[in-house]
Amino acid sequence: MSPLDGKRALVTGGSKGIGRAIALRLAEDGALVTVLGRDAAALAKTAREIRGKSLIADVTDAPGLSAAITAAGPLDILINNAGAALSKPFLDQQEAEWQEMLSVNLLSAVTGCRLVLPGMQARGWGRIVNIASTAGLKGYAYTTAYCAAKHALIGLTRALALEIARSPVTINAVCPGFTDTDLVARAVEVIEAETGRSAEQARAALTRFNPQNRLVEPEEVAEAVAFLCRNEAAAMTGQSLIIAGGEVM
């Protein structure tokens, strides 16, 4: 038997990048995976690859997200992966942009946890993994709203893990460094536009944070998530696993 045979999983932001890699990895371990996001075509493609289901929802729309998670049915595994970043000087960040960063990176996870936790506890097994970031453990200039939201996501993970520690449900965070995804590609474009550097120079400005001098691969993040979802990880809760080539220790 595969480690997650028959377990029902939902991955938010599951159509591309880290979310897609996680969905593929959990399906490989036998989980029945549903991917959730806004890009219908990309979701459908990933769903075919994992032989799973897809749900269209905007995670910043709490009622819509709640309806989608409810439609997914009883869940054993929730991966709160959906996220977005904003790069802008602090004094230029608007109130709406702060709210957006909090909504997508923190409050969507709060909504998901509220919905799935009672059922997991009643059925006697559950895994929640929040995809945070090294930005939840350290600061990066020009990303104050993003860093604040990811720090809060790790705080949520730690506090909730303690609150439910005697139940058969674990909650952990995975903290990737700069990862080879569309999110980083957009960051490269911003650096190009604002500094006049070439794409290669902009990419190098991000890889230099990693002592291995490279971007993390989405599949490397997915491996950590898959481990946290297994029975063998039952004693791990409230942790923040760092996948960043030694950037944060």
- Catalytic residue list: 146
- Among candidates 68, 37, 31, 69, which has minimal Cα distance to 50? 31
User: Regarding beta strands 77-80 and 53-56, do their DSSP bridges make them parallel or antiparallel, or are they unpaired?
Assistant: unpaired
Dist CA 182 CA 20 (whole Å): 12
Strand order from edge to edge, sheet including 32-37: 53-56, 32-37, 8-12, 77-80, 126-131, 169-176, 240-243
CA distances from 234 to 138, 230, 243 (A): 27, 7, 20
User: Regarding beta strands 169-176 and 32-37, do their DSSP bridges make them parallel or antiparallel, or are they unpaired?
Assistant: unpaired
Contact 54, 29 (CB under 8 A): no
Distance of CA 96 to the CA centre of its chain: 22
Residues forming a β-bridge with 49: none
Residue 122 has which token pair?
């009643």
- Among candidates 105, 76, 100, 83, which has minimal Cα distance to 37? 83
